[in-house]
Structure formats: structure tokens, C-alpha cells
Amino acid sequence: MVTAIVPAAGNGKRFGINRNKPLYKLKDKPLLIWTLQALQKIRDINEIVPVVKQQDIKKVQKLIELYKITKVKDIVQGGQERQDSIYNALKILNPNTKLVIIHDGARPFIDAKLVQKMISELLILHSSIDGIITGVPIKDTIKEIEGQYLADNIENIFIKKTLNRDLLWAIQTPQIFFFDKISLAYTKAFMDNFYATDDSALVEKYGGRIKVIKGSYLNIKITTPEDIKIVEASL
């Protein structure tokens, strides 16, 4: 059994005040629905579990019924951080779940063929890896800084060193893991009060082995209002 968890409970501070990102109308329907519909079409996914803010649960339920997204069996209330939200979802999953896909609700351009490939490859390599994630090679030069970045105040920021671009990838979702491995990593992280910016980092911390495959530069995560213009042009 393959279950997709879709975190969509963030505050969206960079998206703008008083704008609810998951329910923001992108062309003719909410952003979250674009993502859920894309997951609905993927053959090997059996269930989808969106994670949203408490105040959005009823709205999202009505939208799921309206757009006939039949693979959604549960809607989970989000936590304070993204990691808390996904942990809430992991705790209610069907025990027959074998693989867990975690995909950002703000990434509407999920590639169905890529997901099928990731699922097949993970099952084939089950004895040597614990998960597969997507990413793309960095195009820009990346520098490590000294000083603290505060909003637009860059007066006290200096370059510490330039990193080797050839060794750096920008990591995306979907990320796919064996259910037992990702659940154990999340449980340990909760007990250790350890937080990371992506799911694979938790599996890595507790000894897991993760494979990276190339995703797509078009797999945009909508974070700022400027991203909306790019996505609408792509649509």
C-alpha cells in the first residue's frame, strides 16, 4: 500500500499577509487541489492524506468532495511546524502502508512518471536504501555567509567561503520512504527535539541511506507572490 502525505498547513509568511496559500485560487481552482488532483491520477498511490490548518479542514473537505478526489481518506490537522504536521499524519496511517510519499501541497507540477519510477526503484533496491528523493543540480554560485540575515538588512553580512557548486543539489519533493523507516526517524526526532528542513534529513540523521534522482526545474514550490506569475505562465 502506498500513501501520499501532502503538507499544506504552513503559515506562508513569505506568500503575503492575509493570503491563505493552500486555498489561493490558481487559475480556476485552489492551489492545493491542483496538487491533490495530480496525485489522484498516479496509479500506484492508494491513499492521499492532506495536512491542513484546523480552520481549513471543513473547507478542504468540501473541495475534495467537489473535485471528487476519492483517494483522500483522512484530512489531518497540522502542527506548529511542517515536521509536526507530517508526524501527525504518520501516526494515523493505515498499518498496511508499505511506502510513504511526502509531497509539498505548494508544488502543483508533480511528474507522475517520475513518481512511478521512484516507487519501482525503491522496491527493487529495498535492501540497500531507505528512501528516494528528487532534486536538481544548483545553477547559481552558492556562498556561505558570516553574520545574521534580517529581512532586507544586509549591512553586516560578509562572505565566509564559496561552496563547490558541482557537489550541491537543490532538493525537492516528492520524497519516498519505507513506512517503517520514516516513522522510526520521525519518532526519534520527536524524542530528541530535532528539527530539519526536509524529511530525508531525519532518515539520514538516524543512519538511513537515501538515493537522489534528478527531478525537474519546473517542479516549482510556490513560496512568494512572484512564484504565482511563473506558475500561471506554465499552466
Q: Where are the domains of the chain?
A: 2-234
CATH superfamily of 2-234: Spore Coat Polysaccharide Biosynthesis Protein SpsA; Chain A (3.90.550.10)
The DSSP secondary structure of 172-205, one letter per residue, reads: EEEEEEEHHHHHHHHHHHHHHT---SSHHHHHHH
Q: What is the pLDDT of residue 14?
A: 60
According to the model, what pLDDT value does residue 229 have? 80
Q: What is the pLDDT of residues 94-130, one digit of tens each?
A: 999 999 999 999 999 999 999 999 999 999 999 899 9
**pLDDT for residue 112:** 94
In b/e form, how buried is each residue of 23-56, taking b as 16+ CB within 10 angstroms? bbebeeebbbbbbbebbbebebbbbbbbbbbeeb
pLDDT at position 131 is 97
Question: Among 131, 116, 228, 143, which Cα is nearest to 171's?
Answer: 131
pLDDT at 184: 97
pLDDT tens by residue, the chain, 235 residues: 999 999 999 766 666 556 678 898 888 899 999 999 999 999 999 999 999 999 999 999 999 999 999 999 899 999 999 999 999 999 999 999 999 999 999 999 999 999 999 999 999 999 899 999 999 999 999 998 887 665 555 667 888 899 999 999 999 999 999 999 999 999 999 999 999 999 999 999 999 999 999 999 999 998 887 888 888 887 7
What pLDDT was estimated at residue 27?
85
pTM: 0.92
pLDDT attached to residue 20: 78
pLDDT at 148: 67
pLDDT at 19: 63
CB 53 within 8 A of CB 9: yes
